[in-house]
Structure 1
């Protein structure tokens, strides 16, 4: 549970820290000028993608209630963040493959997170609809006759006055 909660709290800070790491890492490890210029364009896109995925994950009711992401989210986010961190080290000949891997894992994280949100939302709506139907059936079949009070039971209280 600690790891799932850590990823819950790491969702939005990672959207700032990891793109910044790419810029710092490529500058420190000699990625080259044109590649760095490409990163200046790619980092805002990565920032927006990470915010969107974080928002989709946090939109799920179970995540908000538990303040923890699912184990599927942990696995996908960990793989994606590791790929981003590795890409920041700029390893000639390998960085292109790491970038492709990071993009694929990022897309998988987006679609799996969206799928989990839709399934959970569908289940909650169905549960609410079922509860509404049960209440309507109870109201339709379980109510007493309109002419009777308390299911036909009456309590009569007589009061006598002393002056009569």
Structure 2
């Protein structure tokens, strides 16, 4: 549970920290041209928005807000996505392109799993609400007749009606 709670608190700061890491990593590890820096200046705001969108969809789930913990699927996908961003920031020659492709694929997977979890949880909550309203709206079955016998015994006659 500690890991899931830690990811809950990490999601929004990560939207600032990880794009900043890319700029710091470029300055520390890159021997490339200014064109790659210009590419990073375009990439970092896009990454910032993508991380905010994915985190916002996760936070839209009631279970996440109530427990203040994300699901294990969120931990797996966000964790792998963040690791690829960190790996990309080291600018290892030959691996940077692979980190970029893997990061994009993990963003897509993270986004759609977050949407699927949100829709599934919302559907279950709406179905439970409708079921509660349906139970409350059913007409009450009248009281069951009781027949008494002379020696003090009670015989209960039950009528079973399926009212829907």
Question: Is 2:89 the counterpart of 1:88?
Answer: yes
Q: Deviations over 1:2-22 (max 9, x none)?
A: 000000000000000000000
Q: Deviations over 1:104-123 (max 9, x none)?
A: 00110000000000000000
User: Which residue number in structure 1 is paired with residue 23 of structure 2?
Assistant: 23
Stretch moving more, 24-33 or 71-80: 24-33
User: Which residue number in structure 2 is paired with residue 10 of structure 1?
Assistant: 10
Q: What's the TM-score once normalised by structure 2's chain length?
A: 0.84
State how far apart, in whole Å, the 2-side matches of 1:18 and 1:100 are: 17
> What's the CA shift for 1:141?
2.7
State how far apart, in whole Å, the 1-side matches of 2:3 and 2:101 are: 27
Pick the structure with greater CA Rg. 1
> What's the CA shift for 1:32?
2.8
5+ residue gaps, structure 1, are 145-164
Aligned pairs for 1:81-160 within 5 A: 81-137=82-138, 140-142=139-141
Corresponding residue pairs, total: 142
Structure showing the higher helix proportion among its residues: 1
